[in-house]
Amino acid sequence: MTRILLLGCAGSGKTTLARRLSEKTGAPVIDLDAIWRGKTQETPEFRATLAERHVADAWISDGNFAAVTFDLRMPRTDLVVWLDRPRLTCAWRAITRVFRKGEMHQRGDLLTVLKFIWGFDRQNRPRIEALRLQYGPDVPVVRLRTDQDVAAFVDAL
């Protein structure tokens, strides 16, 4: 079974890695941003959709949403992959992706995203990590910092 939960800052490469892992393993990607878009995290519909999709035997779960989803996702997770990219890398990727054709991220949201990235290690990472330990203390964690780390991880599967 392949049930991998991808965590990391905006712009760290979670969605790109999710696609690569899906191609390699055949496991479907559950893109939390796509499910969430247009809803609030706290809606019963958001949680019901996540609960339904995470009962499968195989999946790649792309997204943090720790406070409202780890109770659903962590107990079914085989492996957590933290993408620990430097802030400047995340910021650069966030900036360049809004100029790609067909990208769901919008230029008008860029300042908000850059503020989120800049404060991620201080504000969000500690909360995500605490909830990860609360709901999945025994789930193995792999931390990937560089493109070489990511490539080696994908190749090793």
- Could you give the CA distance from residue 59 to residue 77 in angstroms, rounded to a whole number? 9
Residue 104: per-residue pLDDT: 55
User: Has residue 101 been placed in a domain?
Assistant: yes
Range of the domain at 92: 3-146
- Could you give the CA distance from residue 110 to residue 67 in angstroms, rounded to a whole number? 23
Residue 42: per-residue pLDDT: 62
CA dist list (Å): 87 to 16, 51, 155: 17, 31, 25
User: Has residue 154 been placed in a domain?
Assistant: no
Residue 98: per-residue pLDDT: 65
Residue 114: per-residue pLDDT: 81
* Predicted TM-score of the model (pTM): 0.88
Cα torsion at 78, 76, 104, 94 (round to 10°)?
A: -50
User: Has residue 155 been placed in a domain?
Assistant: no
- Could you give the CA distance from residue 131 to residue 133 in angstroms, rounded to a whole number? 5
Residue 81: per-residue pLDDT: 97
Residue 48: per-residue pLDDT: 87
Encode the chain (157 residues) as per-residue pLDDT tens digits: 689 999 999 889 999 999 999 999 999 999 998 887 655 556 778 888 889 999 999 999 998 888 889 999 999 999 999 999 999 998 898 888 666 565 554 555 767 778 888 989 999 999 999 999 999 999 999 999 999 999 999 999 8
User: Has residue 63 been placed in a domain?
Assistant: yes
Domain with residue 128: its CATH number is 3.40.50.300
Number of structural domains the chain divides into: 1
